[in-house]
Structure 1
Amino acid sequence: MERMRTRKEHPTGPAPTPTPAPSIPPPRWAVRAAQLITLLALPTGLWRLAMVCGFPSGYTEAGFVPFDTPGSKLWMLTLSVACELLALLSLGLVRPWGETVPRWIPVIGGRPVRPLAAVVPAAAGALALTAIWAAMPLWWTYPHADLTPTGRLLVGLIYQPLVLWGPLLGAVTVSYYRRTKGSRTAHTNTP
């Protein structure tokens, strides 16, 4: 009799595996903060890309010479792409792919993300970014002989928002940790 019920309920075979309980949605402020992070790195990346294309971007003729080499251009291009990709990773802390690996990724696709696997690098990144950009508000107190006055103002303005990157990432990371801390024990038995 039990078998017949199973067949009626699941005519194509055995019962499907239960889906995990829906996760707690991130707070709206965390989603907005993660989205803002992706925009913070954009102005500096575009500024460096302009330099890669040969535009002095506020540097004097002599100040631009070190940046007008193939090695420098490759470095600036790599740095711009890497910064934006790292900024985009913050979205994983507020999107479903930050809790379950997307299915299209080979081998591990569809598996749950262990919360600490996201929290530890994100927290380390938040601390590092906070330390790296902490002195940026002092930009105008230092001489910049290699920049034109307009370039000095432009560079100072486009780099100032990066001061927020570390603290915002830290706040979003804490939010992610709080939302997923209950699932840590569920993932300990996952292969």
Structure 2
Amino acid sequence: MLFFGVVMSDAGIMSLLGYVMGLSLPVALVVALVVPAVRACLRGRIWGYVALAALVVVGAAVAAFLGGALSAYAVNVTAGLRSYAGRMAWTLADMAAFAAWVWIAFRLFGGAPPRWAGPVRARRWGRIATVGAALCPLPYALYRLTWLTPWPTDISGPIDLPLRLQGLMLAFAAVIASVLTLGLISRWGEVFPRWIPLLRGRPVPVRFPVALGGAVAGACLLASPGLAVKAVESGELWALLLWPYPLWGVLLGAAVLAYWLRRRPDGGYTAASTGA
């Protein structure tokens, strides 16, 4: 675990996650808006036709005014991903090896849960850890939103519209990460909300948020050694406040653990059993 998690770790994993979320979130947002409208149309509801027509008009306006900028943004991001393909492949392989050894250690040394791992206590300390973890991505969101202002960070000279959209998407991804983290202590983190097609009202599978949150927490921990060393060598300790990967990884890992302890079938509770 120490070898793959510290010695061979690479902070590039967080860049990969950020850009993947920046590309996938707009697509997910469009799907979340279009699917309910189409379902309403199939059921013969008037609001579905109105909503679908409004979406078509908005989509046509966006394509007309921002089509070129959106295309350039996608080209810039995909080109960056291709140029760092080898390094990103290594970071993913390192993360997989780290996760495998974490699982092996858990299976070998995991025994009877201690008293602090009970559902009631996990709810208490898990809430604190979850709120703290949700706050960690927000400094980065504010940092990237400066690309929409006349004083963009990390950039000297003029900034074009595709680059501004890139900053907006990265900030949006950080905000979504914060919101999803709060789901670990919210009702919609246990039961799918009504606005989610096909899944509305169904219990959220425990493994889904645990796997997703655990992967992000692991990525933060893998990115921590390289970030800390670079911050110390360059004398830019403020970077640890802007990208608080060490704190974020620990808090998010604790939040995910508390969520699992509360909802695990062998000792916690489930949303279905409580009627939530």
| 1:166 aligned partner | 249
Which deviations, in whole Å up to 9, do the C-alpha atoms of 1:8-51 show, x marking residues without a partner?
Answer: xxxxxxxxxxxxxxx96852221121111222111221122123
Contact 2:138–2:178 (Cα < 8 Å) also in 1:
no
Give the aligned residue type for 2:147. M
Corresponding residue number in structure 2 for 1:94:
185
The match for 2:156 is 65
Structure 2 residue runs of 5 or longer lacking an equivalent are 1-118
Under a length normalisation based on structure 1, what TM-score does the superposition of the two structures give? Answer: 0.66
Distance in 2 (CA, whole Å) between partners of 1:186 and 1:36 is 24
Whether the aligned pair in 2 keeps the contact of 1:136 and 1:159 (CA below 8 Å) is no
- Contact 2:139–2:243, Cα closer than 8 Å, also in 1: no
**Aligned residue runs from structure 1 range 150-165, under 5 A:** 153=236, 155-156=238-239, 158-165=241-248
Contact in 1 for aligned 2:137/2:243 (Cα 8 Å) = no
Unaligned runs of 5+ in 1: 1-22, 58-62, 144-151
Partner residue, 2:215: 124
Deviation at residue 142 of structure 1 after TM alignment: 4.1
TM-score by length of 2: 0.48
Question: 3-state DSSP class of the match of 1:27?
Answer: helix
Cα 1:67/1:142, change in 2 over 3 Å: farther
Q: Does 1:181 align with 2:269?
A: no
Superposed displacement of residue 72, structure 1 = 2.3
Does structure 2 conserve the Cα–Cα contact (< 8 Å) formed by 1:123 and 1:170?
Answer: yes
- CA gap of 1:125–1:67, structure 2 versus 1, over 3 A, is farther
Shift of 1:54: 2.2
CA-based RMSD: 3.0
Q: Percent identity?
A: 32
Number of residue pairs the alignment of both structures matches: 152
Larger Rg: 1
**What letter matches 2:251 in structure 1?**
L
Moved over 6 A (4+): 183-187
Q: Which residue of 2 aligns with 1:35?
A: 131
TM superposition shift of 1:55:
0.7
